[in-house]
Chain A
Amino acid sequence: MASVTQVSMVFDDDSSAAWNEMFSAPGSPRPIYERLFAELGRYQPAELRQRSEQLSHTFSERGVTFAHSGEERPFPLDVVPRLIGAMEWDHLSRGIGQRVHALEAFLADIYGEGRIFAEGVIPRSVVTSSPYFCRPAFAVDPPNGVRITVAGIDIVRDEIGNFRVLEDNVRIPSGVSYVIENRRAMTQTFASLFSDHRVHPVDSYPAHLFTALRAAAPPNQSDPVIVVLSPGVHNAAYFEHVLLARMMGVELVEGRDLLCRSNHVYMRTTNGERPVHVIYRRVDDDWLDPLQFLPDSTIGVAGLVNCARSGNVVISNGIGNGVADDKLVYTYVPEFIRFYLSEEPLIENVETYRLEDDDVRHEVLGSLASYVVKPVDSSGGKGIIIGPQADEKTLAKTAEAVTESPRNWIAQRTVSLSTHPTLVDDGVSPRHIDLRPFAVNDGEEVWVLPGGLTRVALGEGELVVNSSRGGGSKDTWVLTDESIPLSESRVIKQRLRNFNFSPRQDGNVGRGDQ
């Protein structure tokens, strides 16, 4: 019983304000964790460590790695899985679906009619000043209306156990390959843990993505050719690009494999040029088309945006989606949900402060050490300042940067992310975690992959969980509850009945030059 003592003992040490995912009180696991807790209790810490080494060996052999500072590293997988109950998951996945629908409506609106500006829900200047607002994307209308084929909405659990959205990722969210590989590795090396649990499988993700990409194809294509466009082997997520292409049975291409001619896209094959209709691209907007964006990009495809404009090819996720990821725009997403869907948000944002407002800014700058400050255009945890953990010099520099350009920063309450028992050097200890569920929109419904990527900050007290900051991950189990049929836990599309966005006909209309 040594390990049980060990698992429960560290819970006693967990004196932080954070929500502990496994325990409700010292030594007493929450109901959904009871069986896992009992099962884990049968292992000596040394045995857990052995499994852990086996997991990392499996990853190295399979090449499940991400590139970090020029070296390929396995993404550490913790042996203790994270569990989500059926009821809770139902709520989460509906909340995510709702958010994706609202963001879709928002993107269609700002790259078209601009109703939301006319109604004063969000200032036009917030959008036009976003570094991601992409004017060449204007009036590039996807045939089935889907710009967000894949969304990765980052979720955290606050101190009292409520889920909150930390940020939206609707450009090229990555990490789903780890969800699939984590599960594969766990079932192979730790099958016994799965006994007594009914866990939703995760390997149907590629099939859902494929269906969504097919549905996105130009309407006159009965058998569209779909490709995955990767920046190439040196990209951090190359492993994922390969996995998705393989599991969908489509070609993995690089920019140099494609060619635009007279608004059609072709790939170069041993049999000559072959037309391409849907491009699931994992190349950022800036690098995607040297004609429209960075002219010195060697990983893009010249002329691609105009091909998409002409409707002969669909770029997925859409270009210009980054506006929705802008962290200042994020603060308005609850308003989008009310405006476009006439619903209340199912998952709240983390409390966030807009620093362009003089009063708010003064307030925040007055006690900067208690806030988290983020650049609006960052991703992957880059450039984030955690006030309580920052030194005086950093805080002073941050205050200066915020004062200089308040539009480029937001401040958030420092949420103590929930913790989860995690195998570390000296035993099993609570570590902060978050969750990135992956949602796929095929135009009919938003399907959310059960679970998602639970990232864990391996340093004690560390609040940034990103892999680029040395984080690891956990296999995430959504438990099925026999009382809830699976079909109901899917998010059924909430139709935007009253909103029918037609493409804007006249580039000058509504800008006041009449």
Chain B
Amino acid sequence: MLSRLAESLYWIGRYLERSDDTARIVDSYVHRMVEDPFNDEDATCRSLYSILGIDVDSDEPVTTEQMLQHIVYDADNPNSIAGSLSGAFENARRSREFISSEMWVALNSTRNRLPQMENTARRLGPSQYLLFVRERAALLAGLIDTTLSHDDGWHFLVLGRSIERIDMTARLLRGRVLSEEHAPDWLAFLRACGAMEAFMRSTREIHNANGVATFLLLDRLFPRSVLYSLNLADTCLYEIQPSSQRIATADLARQSLARARGRLEFMDPADLLDQLPELLEMLEETCVRINDAVTDRFFGHEDYVVWSREGGL
């Protein structure tokens, strides 16, 4: 398929997942702030910034309003929810001949409704807005799975989604590891990942931090776990290889992926909490490496080419 198209689909996957995950994380933090009015607002917001990779220059205390503006509503910030949705939309515009009409309509109407959702959220608080984002993400995920052929393009999209999901889950856990006192508790994390019930059914141990981390990293069956996403990403990478090269040695992206998976799989779960900071850093680096390898290998199209007339004779 066209390299530029593949790149757009990959980024639709990433941006949609980013908007969904950001909504979930913000929701859990906002929830915590409401629950605990004595909580240090500035520190909590800064903790949230740090897990989303946002640098804050100013020493002025950060308010919840500012945090929401920055992480949720600011369409000019590609990492905010509005920014991610707008990124997904722009990429969908560039791949409109590939994606299904239903998917296009869903994305387009999501974008059209966002300003109104924002107005309401500014009056009544962000929870309806965040819920809307998650519902649209679920709708889109459904349409992606049911209205697109599961061909190369779909695999690029799901690859992007999986990479983003690994990255976001790692970041979420890192927030807890870095500044425990300002992060939501493990339970809230599970809720943020939509993993509460699945976790309860599989372990029935609510207050075991190690158990939660193990579940979110290593569960083979839960689709938001890191291991599950790594496996899915690997399947996608396998499928999009040129057919003539399927048997040949794995490419760079698959090598990084296999290393990360090996690290996770052959670790003693008992040591997980101790090794967590290191593991999470490794996972974030893996995401960057896979992203670069895929970009190099498959998206090698030109940016707009600038031509010059040759110098006069």
Consider the complex of A and B and state whether they touch directly, i.e. have CB atoms less than 8 Å apart: yes
Interface residues of A, Cβ cutoff 8 Å to B: 60-63, 228, 232-233, 238, 242, 245-246, 251-257, 267-272, 290, 295-299, 302
Contacting residue for A271 out of B97, B242, B306, CB 8 A: B242
Write the chain B residue with the least CB distance to A238.
Answer: B93
Q: With the chains together, A61 CA to B108 CA distance in Å?
A: 6
In the bound complex, do residue B108 and residue A269 qualify as a contact, i.e. CB atoms below 8 Å apart? no
In the bound complex, do residue B298 and residue A270 qualify as a contact, i.e. CB atoms below 8 Å apart? yes
| With known contacts A62-B108, A246-B96, A295-B308, A268–B101 Cβ distance under 8 A | no
Q: With the chains together, A295 CA to B304 CA distance in Å?
A: 13
Q: Given A60-B112, A233-B93, A269-B2, list of 17 further CB < 8 A pairs?
A: A61-B105, A61-B108, A62-B104, A63-B105, A238-B93, A242-B96, A251-B97, A254-B4, A256-B304, A257-B3, A268-B301, A269-B1, A270-B3, A272-B242, A296-B306, A298-B306, A302-B305
Q: With the chains together, A255 CA to B112 CA distance in Å?
A: 30
Report chain A residues within 8 Å CB of B6.
Answer: 270
Write the chain B residue with the least CB distance to A233.
Answer: B93
Q: With the chains together, A297 CA to B5 CA distance in Å?
A: 22
Main secondary structure of the interface of A (DSSP, over half): mixed
In the bound complex, do residue A267 and residue B2 qualify as a contact, i.e. CB atoms below 8 Å apart? yes
Report chain A residues within 8 Å CB of B104.
Answer: 62-63
Q: With the chains together, A256 CA to B307 CA distance in Å?
A: 12
Q: With the chains together, A238 CA to B94 CA distance in Å?
A: 9
Q: With the chains together, A238 CA to B97 CA distance in Å?
A: 11
Write the chain A residue with the least CB distance to B306.
Answer: A298
Q: Which of B284-306 contact A (CB under 8 A)?
A: 298-306
Report chain A residues within 8 Å CB of B304.
Answer: 255-256, 298-299
Q: With the chains together, A268 CA to B298 CA distance in Å?
A: 9
In the bound complex, do residue A61 and residue B112 qualify as a contact, i.e. CB atoms below 8 Å apart? yes
Q: Which of B2-22 contact A (CB under 8 A)?
A: 2-6
Write the chain A residue with the least CB distance to B111.
Answer: A63
Q: With the chains together, A272 CA to B298 CA distance in Å?
A: 8
Report chain A residues within 8 Å CB of B94.
Answer: 232-233
Report chain A residues within 8 Å CB of B156.
Answer: 270
Check B152 for interface membership: any CB of A closer than 8 A: yes
The 9 lowest CB-CB distance pairs between A and B, nearest first, are A245-B97, A298-B304, A242-B96, A290-B307, A270-B298, A252-B97, A256-B302, A246-B97, A268-B301
Contacting residue for B108 out of A63, A268, A302, CB 8 A: A63
Task: Report B108 CB to chain A, min CB distance, Å.
Answer: 5
Contacting residue for B101 out of A60, A62, A232, A255, CB 8 A: A62
Of B6, B298, B304, B308, most buried by chain A (CB within 10 Å of CB) is B304
Task: Report A412 CB to chain B, min CB distance, Å.
Answer: 39
Contacting residue for A251 out of B2, B306, B307, CB 8 A: B2
Report chain B residues within 8 Å CB of A269.
Answer: 1-3
Q: With the chains together, A190 CA to B59 CA distance in Å?
A: 60
Report chain B residues within 8 Å CB of A238.
Answer: 93
Q: With the chains together, A494 CA to B152 CA distance in Å?
A: 46
Q: With the chains together, A55 CA to B284 CA distance in Å?
A: 47
Check B240 for interface membership: any CB of A closer than 8 A: yes
Report chain A residues within 8 Å CB of B301.
Answer: 256-257, 268
Report chain A residues within 8 Å CB of B298.
Answer: 270
In the bound complex, do residue B97 and residue A302 qualify as a contact, i.e. CB atoms below 8 Å apart? no
Report chain B residues within 8 Å CB of A233.
Answer: 90, 93-94
Report chain A residues within 8 Å CB of B90.
Answer: 233
Report chain A residues within 8 Å CB of B123.
Answer: none
| With known contacts A62-B101, A268-B300, A272-B242, A297–B2 Cβ distance under 8 A | no
Check B207 for interface membership: any CB of A closer than 8 A: no
Q: With the chains together, A268 CA to B2 CA distance in Å?
A: 6
Check B127 for interface membership: any CB of A closer than 8 A: no
Of A62, A251, A257, A269, most buried by chain B (CB within 10 Å of CB) is A269
Q: Which of B30-70 contact A (CB under 8 A)?
A: none
In the bound complex, do residue A256 and residue B4 qualify as a contact, i.e. CB atoms below 8 Å apart? yes
Task: Report A269 CB to chain B, min CB distance, Å.
Answer: 6
Report chain B residues within 8 Å CB of A290.
Answer: 307
Contacting residue for B4 out of A245, A257, A271, A299, CB 8 A: A257
| 28 interchain pairs, CB-CB under 8 A | A61-B105, A61-B112, A63-B104, A63-B108, A245-B97, A251-B97, A256-B301, A256-B305, A257-B3, A257-B4, A257-B301, A268-B2, A268-B4, A268-B300, A268-B301, A268-B302, A269-B1, A269-B3, A270-B2, A270-B3, A270-B298, A270-B299, A295-B307, A296-B307, A297-B307, A298-B304, A298-B306, A302-B305
Q: With the chains together, A257 CA to B305 CA distance in Å?
A: 10
Check B109 for interface membership: any CB of A closer than 8 A: yes
In the bound complex, do residue A298 and residue B242 qualify as a contact, i.e. CB atoms below 8 Å apart? no
Task: Report A248 CB to chain B, min CB distance, Å.
Answer: 9
Check B201 for interface membership: any CB of A closer than 8 A: no
Report chain B residues within 8 Å CB of A232.
Answer: 94
Write the chain B residue with the least CB distance to A244.
Answer: B97
| With known contacts A256-B303, A299-B304, A268–B309 Cβ distance under 8 A | no
Q: With the chains together, A61 CA to B102 CA distance in Å?
A: 10
Report chain B residues within 8 Å CB of A298.
Answer: 304-307
| With known contacts A269-B1, A269-B2, A270-B152, A61–B307 Cβ distance under 8 A | no
Report chain A residues within 8 Å CB of B5.
Answer: 251
Report chain A residues within 8 Å CB of B300.
Answer: 268
Task: Report A428 CB to chain B, min CB distance, Å.
Answer: 29
In the bound complex, do residue A242 and residue B97 qualify as a contact, i.e. CB atoms below 8 Å apart? yes
Report chain B residues within 8 Å CB of A61.
Answer: 105, 108-109, 112
Q: Which of B258-313 contact A (CB under 8 A)?
A: 298-309
Q: With the chains together, A231 CA to B302 CA distance in Å?
A: 15
